[in-house]
Amino acid sequence: MKTTAYTPFEVGAKDRVVGFFVISAMLLFLLGFVIPAVKRLGADQGILFYTTLDQTYGIAEEALVSLRGVEIGKVADIRITDSSMVRVDVSLSPEYAPFYTKNSKMTVDSNIGVNTLLTGSGLILEPGSISNGLMAPGDFIATEAPQGIG
């Protein structure tokens, strides 16, 4: 037995092994959160287009944009323009770029459903004729407002 009142902590081989496993487990746990976040950032790189409406009609950011029932993008931003119109920026998937043709139209998806309750109304893309040519990123897409009763 030592006669000194205070002895420093001595690190042994067991302590090093336990420390290695604890640090490794923490790194793996953090990577489990970082890797999916990086993948989501890569998936958010879409082709931007915009449209204008006289009001939002329940459209919110992250609302779905679909083409024949298939999700092709999301609403990226909503803001009011200088001319008091609502500008809606949409980010569409590059995978479906051949369908983004000139004279395409959008309609407000006002059907009642689970998605409408969770994310608000969405937009439906109705592509124009392929012979019209493809739209350039940042182009305007005309949108038809929903017809209501009254």
Are 53 and 145 in contact by the 8 Å Cβ rule? The answer is yes
Distance (Å, whole) CA 111 – CA 125: 15
Distance (Å, whole) CA 76 – CA 88: 8
Pairing status of strand 70-80 against strand 64-67: antiparallel
pLDDT digits (tens, 9 = 90+) for 36-47: 777 766 656 789
Least confident range of 66-70, 80-84, 103-107, 120-124: 120-124
Of 44, 100, 40, 42, nearest to 67 (Cα)? 100
Mean pLDDT of 15-29: 91
pLDDT at 21: 93
Instruction: Using the predicted structure, report yes or no on whether residue 149 has a pLDDT greater than 50.
Output: no
Confidence of residue 4 (pLDDT cuts 50, 70, 90): low
Of 97, 100, 99, 78, nearest to 88 (Cα)? 78
Q: Please give the share of the chain, as a percent, with pLDDT higher than 70.
A: 81
The CA–CA distances, whole Å, from 114 to 21, 58, 118, 122 equal 44, 14, 6, 12
Q: Please give the share of the chain, as a percent, with pLDDT higher than 90.
A: 40
Confidence of residue 120 (pLDDT cuts 50, 70, 90): low
Three-state secondary-structure class, residue 137: coil
